[in-house]
Amino acid sequence: MNLLKRVDPIIYKLVLAEEKRQKEVLEMIPSENYTSKAVMEALGTVLTNKYSEGYPHKRYYQGNRIIDDIEMLAQERAKKLFKVPYVNVQPLSGSPANAAVYMAILNPGDKIMGLSLAFGGHLTHGAPLTFSSRFFKSVQYTLGKDKLIDFTEVEKLALKEKPQVIVCGFTAYPSIIDFERFGEIADKVKAYLLADISHIAGLIVAGVHPSPVNYAHIVTTTTHKTLRGPRGAMIMVTDKGLKKNPDLAKKIDSAIIPGLQGGPHDNQTAAIAVALLEASKPAFKRYGQQVVKNSKALAKHLVAFGFDLVSGGSENHLILIDLKNKNVNGAVAALALETAGIVVNKNGVPFDTNPPFYPSGIRLGTPAITTRGLSQKDMIKVADWMHRTIEEVKGVDLPTDKEKRKEVWKAKKAEIVKNKKLLDIAKEVKNFTAKFPIG
C-alpha cells in the first residue's frame, strides 16, 4: 500500500487502523468473516475498470471477451459446488438478489410469506418498511413456544393465505432448517419456495447442514459469511424450479439487468470465483465442520455460565442469547463486549418486548474465529470472557421513556468504554489473538 500512503495518507491510516482492530479482537458477528488474501487480491485488480452490462456473449459494450471467461468460470464453479443447473453471479449483495427474485416471479401486490424479522427472519423476507412489504403483500410466520419453526402453523398460514412465494432461510436461527418440509408446504399451495441460505451456504458446501436444492425452486446466497468470499451474492435455480417454470432463469437474468442493476462489479465476480474454488477443496469441508464444532462447544460453555440460549444451544454457526435473566439488554451487552475485545451484535429474541435498538439479546457466531484457527478447547476461554464482561454490566438499566433513555444511555456508554475491568479483558483478548494471525 505504498502508493496509497503517498496519494491519500488519511485513508491509508484508516485502513491500517481497521486492519489492526480486526487483528486484535474476536470478530464474532455471525455474518462476518475473513477472506483469503487471494480473494482480496482479485478484488483489487484492473477488473474494476471494466463495464460489462449484460451476460457472457451478450454484452452491451465491447471488450468483454476476458470478462466473459471470468463470469462463466464463476457460474460453472457455483453450479458444480451447489449442484444446480443455473446460477447468476451478478447480484451486488443479498438484498438486491432477493429483490431480483421477487421481480422475476411476482407482480406488484402478490404475496410473500416469510419469517418475521422479530423471530429471526431477514428484512427482505417481508419485513415492514422494506420494499418486500411495500410493493408486495407480506404475511409473516413466527416461531413456536419452543422457539423453533412450528410447521403445523406454517402450513395453516400458507393454506389460508395462498402466497405466491414462501421464503425460508434465516438470519438469527440457531437450528437446522427442514427444507424438505418447507418444500412440501410450498407445493401444497403451488407457491415458489425461495431458500435464502446466505448464512449457511458454507456449511451446506461442507456437508454439515442439509441443502435446499432438492426442495426449493430458487436459492439465494451472499458470498461472504460462511462461504468466506467477497461481499456479493448469487441466485440459483434448481431443477425443480426449471420444471415449475422453464423460463425462470431467463426471468431472473432480466430482473438483474435491465430490471434492477447496470454493470456488474467484475472484480467482485472474479473474487467470487476464487472463493468458490477455495470452497471446493477438502480443507474447506474441514473448516465448515470446525465452525459447527466450535459453535456447539461455545454454546455448551455459555449455558454452564447461566446464559439463556434461544433453542437451548446451536446446531449451526450461530448463537442467539436472551439476556433477560442476566438483567441487561443487548445494546449494553454488545457495547461492553466490544470494549472487552469481543465483537457481537445486539439482536432481538423471539417474543421480545424491548424495542429493536435496545433489544433483549445478542447474536454471535464462530465463522470468523474458526477461520483464524480457534478450536473447541478455546471456546471455554471465550465463554469465560463473555461471562466476566456481562457480569460487569449486570443491572445497567435504561429507562423506557425515549428521551430519558437517550440521556441515560449516553452517560452509560461513556462509563462502559472506560471500564477498567473490561479494558483489562480486552488486553487478554489482544494477547490471545496474537497467536492466531489473520490470513
53 is catalytic: yes
Q: What is the pLDDT of residue 256?
A: 97
Across the strands, what pairs with 220?
196, 235
Does the pLDDT at position 361 exceed 90? Answer: yes
- Residue 400 — very low, low, confident or very high, per pLDDT cuts 50/70/90? confident
Catalytic one of 24, 53, 68, 178: 53
User: If residue 196 lies in a helix (H) or strand (E), which one and from where to where?
Assistant: strand 192-196
| pLDDT grade for 338, boundaries at 50, 70 and 90 | very high
The single residue of 231, 381, 413, 421 carrying the catalytic annotation is 231
Annotated catalytic residue, options 171, 222, 226, 366: 222
Confirm whether 196 is a catalytic residue: yes
| Cα angle 110-163-107, degrees, rounded to a multiple of 5 | 20
Per-residue pLDDT of 264-274, as tens digits, reads: 999 999 999 99
Average pLDDT, the chain: 96
- Give tens-digit pLDDT for 161-183: 999 999 999 999 999 999 999 99
Q: Is the CA virtual torsion 148, 241, 266, 75 positive or negative?
A: positive
Q: How confident is the model at residue 196 (pLDDT cuts 50, 70, 90)?
A: very high
- To the query of whether residue 231 is one of the catalytic residues in this protein, the response is yes
Q: Which listed residue (225, 240, 326, 412) is catalytic?
A: 225
pLDDT tens for each residue of 280-310: 999 999 999 999 999 999 999 999 999 999 9
pLDDT band (50, 70, 90) for residue 402 = confident
Confidence tier at 107 by pLDDT (50, 70, 90): very high
Q: How far is CA 173 from the centre of its chain?
A: 11
Q: What's the half-sphere exposure (Cβ side, CA atoms, 13 Å) at 238?
A: 19
Strands 345-347 and 308-309: unpaired
Residue positions counted in the chain: 439
Question: Is the peptide bond preceding residue 258 cis, with omega within 30 degrees of 0?
Answer: yes
Q: What is the pLDDT of residues 221-248, one digit of tens each?
A: 999 999 999 999 999 999 999 999 999 9
pLDDT given for residue 244 in this prediction: 98
Q: Please, what are the domains in the chain?
A: 50-279 (3.40.640.10), 282-433 (3.90.1150.10)
pTM, entire model: 0.95
Residue 225 among the catalytic residues? yes
- Look at the alpha carbons of 339, 341, 343, 349 in this order and tell me if their dihedral is positive or negative: negative
Report how far residue 161's alpha carbon sits from residue 159's, in angstroms, rounded to the nearest whole number: 6
